[in-house]
Structure 1
Amino acid sequence: MGPLRWGIMAAGKISYDMATASAALSPKEHFIAAIAARSLESAREFADEFKIPKAYGSYEELVQDPEIDVCYIGTLNPFHLELGKLALSHGKHVLCEKPLGMNVRETKELIDYAREKGLFLMEGIWSRFFPTYMRLREEIDKGSIGDVLQVFVSFGVPISEVDRIKKKEFGGGSVLDIGIYCVQLAQYVFGGDNPVKIISGGHLNENLVDESTSTTLLYTNGRTATLVTHTKCQMPNEACIIGTKGTLKLECPFWCPTHLTLADGKTHEFPLPPGKATKFFRSMGLSYEMSEVRRCINAGMLESPTVSHKETLRIAEIMQSIRKAVDVVYPQDII
């Protein structure tokens, strides 16, 4: 079987990192066939840097290319639904940056459309494909810390003046941008169970999007997750998973970790694939999710069991509940 032929939609920083990470993978398995951006000049510059054979000045042109198998959507949040449906409508599988949609309605709409078309769709929650997360799962499943009762996780970085964070029209706010990593971790640890209660509070900026939140997720059997997000200060950015027999700790940054401390106090390292510098921290790890996409598509699967459609919907529901509690309303919420 030949390489999976990728088309990248958008030429921004995260797309740059995706292309950079692809260099860690075998060209016999992955090939970036085309890049599209809102301007042909940007697409051509991107293509020149990464030696991509085709550059398009519109997304419509890219999805019409018969030599593309899967589209990676690296645009701002409000465009995920539109571009996801555009790619799927032209027979392309889709890997879409998180969050998959601006709210539950958009998320469900895109998932339903992918199922209708019989095509693979995955939300890019790349954290779950890190070897560190896989080891974390093994430790939990074998009971090395007993019954897991508590998760503590924080994600805070001083990014409040970044446009994609502070502006409502860009889908800004801490929950959709960084809070999703906290939510997905709690769900990962607790096996995707639905919280029975969600308690949230937070602070909004002048554009009425959340600059910080504090959330407690209550689950059955005495289980709790405590999640904190902030866009105006640096936080520990680590995660502690606490059970009746000990603690597991994902070292900072917990969303792309290379170190896991086990219950015996020993820290294990899981090095990233080598590669050149990326725009965001540890983005060479994006290669892990690219490998998962290829595995699933080659197996004829329409979703990844690690980031299933059910799980993506549940995460969207939790984030929407948090936003509702702190009074963040996007135009997409008003129909």
Structure 2
Amino acid sequence: MSLRNGTKQGTVRIGVLGLGRIAQHMGETLSAMHKDPRYSQLVEPYACATRNDEARARNYADTFGFTKAYGSYEQLLDDPEVDLVYIATPHVFHKDQAIAAMQHGKNVLVEKAFTLNAQQARLVIEESQDTRLLCAEAIWTRYMPSRTLLVQALESGVIGDVVQMHADLSYPLTHKQRLVDPALGGGILLDCGIYALNFGGMIYPNANVTRMLSNVVMSPEGVDRTFQASAVLSNGVLTSSSASMLCASPRLGIIQGTKGYIIVGNINNPEYIDVYAADHTLIQRITPPEQLTGYEYEVAAAAQAVLDGRIECVQMPHSQTIHMLEAMDGLRADWAMRYPDER
């Protein structure tokens, strides 16, 4: 199968738009994938672009083995050899950049949070439906093998019927200007809280939220810096999620059932899944497979979707992206928190 722009059979050429911190991890990932026989024929680290700094783009390209380096986003989008654009800019820019990329005929993989809110997400997804181009949210835990391992453990019935679960992801992050700036979609919710909320969402993707309550501590700048939220799902499971930019946390995910419980070490990149009986006896430790960086799974899923001609990834379909953003919209409505772009 060949891509329509004439790339070699079965290989998806990837362009990285925005070269901040998360893009450094993606560069490392794509470089490692290109050298790994499992992925070397699937993806190619082809192009990268900054907003207006070609020298910085060239340094990135040289570091991670990209062929092309551009000093503007428009140049990358105009390159006919780019098949898939990974958007690595702050949340506030995702909507316009994703739409622009698709209007240039590019498939897109958009770093979480997909957009600022569900309304923006619908506009992006409408463009995907109109152009029939892939548009996927890059929230890496949804694509990892650890998700499948966790779901399999729950479906085995080893801890009985799930009653409640909790997830927290907190780091001291107030030193990062992006996170305290409302104009850039700041706050802990879209950065770390999204993982805590997705912990339950990826286990029960077909369950709806029937009721949600929350508390928040706001910053002087007007963004959320600590929050806790609890929700009752339509399947009867009680979930709670929390995140903070003021402190560190154990980053645990805890799932409690009628016969035992499961503890997931580091919900942001699971290191182990420990299964306990009701008497607190450790039954099993499940260890996810060794990975390159952890980002390779979302890249491989997106690249394969492009080759298959699909407009969404099964691991994180459009409906789930909107569902999670609606939940976060609901929380921010409770907090009377709006970003400048929403006013």
TM-score, with length taken from structure 1: 0.93
Q: In 2, Cα distance between the equivalents of 1:120 and 1:114?
A: 6
**Residue 126 (str. 1) matches residue 144 (str. 2):** no
Q: Taking structure 1 as reference, are residues 152 and 161 closer, same or farther at Cα in structure 2, changes over 3 Å only? A: same
Partner of 2:298: 289
> 1:268 deviation in Å?
2.0
Q: Residue 293 of structure 1 aligns to which amino acid in structure 2?
A: A
Given that residues 170 and 245 in structure 2 are in contact (C-alpha distance below 8 angstroms), is that contact kept between their aligned partners in structure 1? yes
Superposed counterparts of 1:1-335, under 5 Å: 1-25=9-33, 26-38=39-51, 39-251=53-265, 253-263=266-276, 265=282, 266-274=284-292, 284-334=293-343
CA distance in 2 between counterparts of 1:261 and 1:120 reads: 36
Specify the SS of the correspondent of 1:100.
Answer: coil
Q: CA RMSD in A?
A: 1.3
The Cα offsets for residues 230-289 of structure 1, whole Å up to 9 and x where unpaired, read as: 1001112110111222212211x2121121112452212224324xxxxxxxxx100111
> Which residue identity lines up with residue 288 of structure 1 in the other structure?
Y
Separation in structure 2 between the aligned mates of residue 311 and residue 43 of structure 1, nearest angstrom: 33
1:258–1:272 CA contact under 8 A, matched in 2: no
Amino acid in the other structure paired with 2:161: D
Shift of 1:179: 0.7
d(CA) in 1 for partners of 2:50 and 2:241? 35
The code of the aligned residue for 1:198 comes to M
Q: Secondary structure at the match of 2:32?
A: coil
Amino acid at match of 2:47: A
**Structure 1 residue runs without a partner (length 5+):** 275-283
Deviations 1:20-39 (A, max 9, x none): 01233232211011001011
Deviation string 1:216-240 (CA, Å, 9 cap, x unpaired) is: 0112343110111110011121101
1:23 match: secondary structure:
helix
What's the % identity of the aligned pairs?
28
Q: How many corresponding residue pairs? A: 324
Query: Under a length normalisation based on structure 2, what TM-score does the superposition of the two structures give?
Result: 0.91
Secondary structure of 2:209's aligned partner:
coil
Q: Which runs of 4+ in 1 moved over 4 A?
A: none
> 1:79-103, CA deviations, whole angstroms, 9 ceiling, x for partnerless residues?
1011101110011110000011101
Counterparts of 1:292 and 1:47, CA distance in 2: 23
Moved more, 153-162 or 65-74: 153-162
Q: Distance in 1 between matches of 2:264 and 2:70?
A: 40
Contact 1:258 1:271 in 2 (8 A): no
Q: Which stretch of the first structure deviates more once superposed, 51-60 or 214-223?
A: 214-223
SS in structure 1 of the partner of residue 62 of structure 2: helix
Whether the 8 Å contact between 2:205 and 2:320 is mirrored in structure 1 is no
C-alpha distance in 1 between matches for 2:309 and 2:257? 38
Measure how far apart 1:52 and its partner are.
1.2
Distance 1:33 1:221 in 2: 45
What displacement does 1:19 show?
Answer: 1.2
Instruction: Quote the offset at 1:75 in angstroms.
Output: 0.3
Which runs of no fewer than 5 residues in structure 2 stay unpaired? 1-8, 34-38
Going from structure 1 to structure 2, the CA distance change for 1:164 and 1:272 (only over 3 Å counts) comes to farther
- Deviation at residue 115 of structure 1 after TM alignment: 0.8
Q: Name the CA distance, whole Å, in 2 between partners of 1:271 and 1:61.
A: 38
1:41 is displaced (CA, Å) by 1.7
Tell me if structure 2 keeps the 8 A contact 1:128–1:134.
no
Mapped to 2, the partners of 1:198 and 1:36 lie a distance apart of: 41
